[in-house]
Amino acid sequence: MNSNQQSNRLLILVGSPRRDGNSAALGKAALRGAEAAGTTASLLFLDDYIHGFLPDLRHARAPADRYAELFLEHFLPADGMLLCTPVYWYGMSAQAKAFFDRSFSHYAGSGSEPQRVMARMTGKRLGLAVASEETYPGAALGIVHQVQEYARYTHSDFVGYVHGAGNKRGEIARDPRQPLAAAQTLGAEFFTRKYSDYRIETPRRHNVWEPAPALSSTPGGLP
């Protein structure tokens, strides 16, 4: 068990209302991996917290649901967030999109302590797991790009992406690409997986990975 893992908190958000659906299966697999690695992790369904969209805050208040609880008490304290969503019309679910949209009310002047909120929004590790009926690799690229740009905007690290296919509930387990195993691995490695995203000014080493340690040998023994 990695002691650094224990000190990090991972929030897994499921953007489908189905408790036994394919997006939930990906999230639960990631949760198993995170907990096995010693990470403090929790899994929440966005449908339990979000019941409305972002209104014109100059003329209306935010919906009277549990979004503030989700955002302020679960998302902001987390060190990493894994979003699990189905692919709807080549985009994320409405619940998942509303999660990002509604955050505006907490840092655009209408919420309390907007500077503190913005500071806690930055520097997280982010991951994505998507479930689609199609195996077509491009089906989820719009979602990947959106999360990638959110990571860039908030100075966060987009550390992993899993895509599985299934239509019936739980069918994703039959995907020969083994997305559930990949999600479990992502959960386990969420805070230890190497991340690099070079800029022109970034100091760069000649090798990407650390060289394997040399095998020691003793006289008269095998190396």
State the Cα torsion 174-177-180-186 to the nearest 10°. 180
Instruction: Tell me the sheet residues that pair with 48.
Output: none
Range 175-192 average pLDDT: 96
Residues 6+ apart with CB under 8 A from 154: 121, 122, 123, 124
pLDDT band per the 50, 70, 90 thresholds, residue 6 = low
CA-to-CA dists, residue 104 to 26, 32, 46, 55, 115, angstroms: 28, 32, 17, 10, 12
Range 200-209 average pLDDT: 86
pLDDT band per the 50, 70, 90 thresholds, residue 114 = confident
Give 211's Cβ-side CA count (13 Å radius). Answer: 6
pLDDT band per the 50, 70, 90 thresholds, residue 10 = very high
* Tokens found for residue 216: 């020691």
Range 29-45 average pLDDT: 97
- The count of residues in the chain is 223
* Tokens found for residue 36: 């096995």
Instruction: Give residue 221's pLDDT.
Output: 54
Question: Which has more pLDDT, 64 or 154?
Answer: 154
Lowest-pLDDT range of 2-16, 43-57, 205-219: 205-219
* Average pLDDT value for the chain: 90
Highest mean pLDDT: which of 4-8, 45-49, 104-108?
A: 45-49
pTM: 0.88
State the sign of the Cα–Cα–Cα–Cα dihedral 66, 68, 74, 79: positive
Instruction: Give residue 4's pLDDT.
Output: 55
d(CA 214, CA 223): 10
Instruction: Give residue 208's pLDDT.
Output: 87
d(CA 46, CA 42): 13
Share of the chain above pLDDT 70, in %: 92
pLDDT of residue 203 exceeding 90: no
Lowest-pLDDT range of 8-17, 152-161, 163-172, 203-212: 203-212
- pLDDT, tens only, 118-128: 999 999 999 99
Range 69-93 average pLDDT: 96
